[in-house]
Structure 1
Amino acid sequence: MGNQREHVMNTLDRYLRLCDVPVRADITDELGELFTDDAVWEGVGPEYSGEFGRREGRTAILEMLAGYLPPNPHFRENVHLLFPGTIDLHATTARGTWLMQQLSRYASGDAEVGVARLEVTFRLEPDRPARISLFRTERLFSAPLASAPPSKEAA
């Protein structure tokens, strides 16, 4: 069972790293490998349900994520920090809950810190990495950060 927990954490860690900005060039295929064909990605709660809504299927999820990741200029910098969580293992699935902190600087120059609760269900299959079948995120806290002064290179 410990090995399955490691597979779950590796998948979630890879997902968050691929969503950090700056990011390598085209990561769509790598992101796609992390989700089942019938996966659901859902923003829940008063803020995220309206902002993100519900995406059903790998293709819809990847299209939504592409709106936030380069070459789209939404984020100038973005990093996810994951706190220890809980993982419940079952025969063919695992369900975990974590708190995640996100530090973001947007193309506009505005910056914020946010904390979200992640509830993620993974499909476990023999001889294959754990894949996300349900990803739910709920914003619990956000606050603006001081904007960085323009760099000397930009002047």
Structure 2
Amino acid sequence: MSDLAALLHRVARLEAESACRACLSDYMDICDRLDANTDLEALAALFTEGAVWGGAGARYAADFGQHHGRAAIVDWLAQFCTTPPHFAMNAHFLSSESLTHRDEGVTGRWLMLQTPRFADGQNFVMAARLVIDFKKENEAWRMHRFSTENLYARAVSDWNQPVQIPSPTGSVHD
């Protein structure tokens, strides 16, 4: 392989990684704001036509099941797009990223922390392991297999407390 070909190959890999990260970031952004006005077409565009979204491990396999095909995934996620929103507040945090290139695409692994407040007032802290296969379809990197496995979940008190935020001087306004 010539130096130019090797360089172009490396650039293509980096661009693929960046596109996969952007795809997952867009997905999490949509999931953080699910409501009756959610753009389900934008959500659908993040998955390949033959994608599979599934819970892994005993807890999430039972809670979430498996959804085969872009339409089935979007139909399942649409049940969370209600008025009032199922999630009064939702935030996903991703860490410990690892991306591996394969002949058929890119596989990403992340640890995810989720801090939802549900419409019924319950608050949770949840952690999961994500394994996501990405494939290029119609010139865009999309999720082809999404797997989420629960590490822990527990109810917590209200996230947004009307308390003074601690600072070394005693006031954040000093």
Same fold at TM > 0.5: yes
Q: How far apart in 1 are the matches of 2:83 and 2:106?
A: 33
Q: How far apart in 1 are the matches of 2:126 and 2:38?
A: 26
Instruction: Indicate the structure (1 or 2) with the bigger Cα radius of gyration.
Output: 2
Give the equivalent residue in structure 2 for 1:141. Answer: 152
Cα contact 1:11–1:129 (8 A) shared by 2: no
Tell me if 1:85 matches 2:85: no
Residue 49 (structure 1) aligned to one of 35, 57, 61: 61
Deviation at 1:84, TM superposition (A): 3.2
Q: What are the superposed Cα offsets for residues 7-35 of structure 1, whole Å, 9 maximum, x if unpaired?
A: 11000111111100366823100000010
Residue 139 (structure 2) aligned to one of 115, 120, 128: 128
Q: Which runs of no fewer than 5 residues in structure 2 stay unpaired? A: 1-12, 163-174
Secondary structure of the 1:2 match is helix
Secondary structure of the 1:12 match is helix
Name which of structure 1's ranges 129-138 and 83-92 shifts more when overlaid on structure 2: 83-92
Deviation at 1:128, TM superposition (A): 2.3
Q: Which runs of no fewer than 5 residues in structure 1 stay unpaired? A: none
Deviation at 1:102, TM superposition (A): 0.4
Aligned length: 150
Moved over 4 A (4+): 148-151
Cα contact 1:109–1:148 (8 A) shared by 2: no
TM-score by length of 1: 0.88
Deviation at 1:2, TM superposition (A): 1.0
Q: How far apart in 1 are the matches of 2:160 and 2:22?
A: 36
Q: What are the superposed Cα offsets for residues 69-92 of structure 1, whole Å, 9 maximum, x if unpaired?
A: 344632111111111311111244
RMSD value, Cα: 2.2
Give the equivalent residue in structure 1 for 2:111. Answer: 99
Give the equivalent residue in structure 1 for 2:124. Answer: 112
Cα contact 1:103–1:114 (8 A) shared by 2: yes
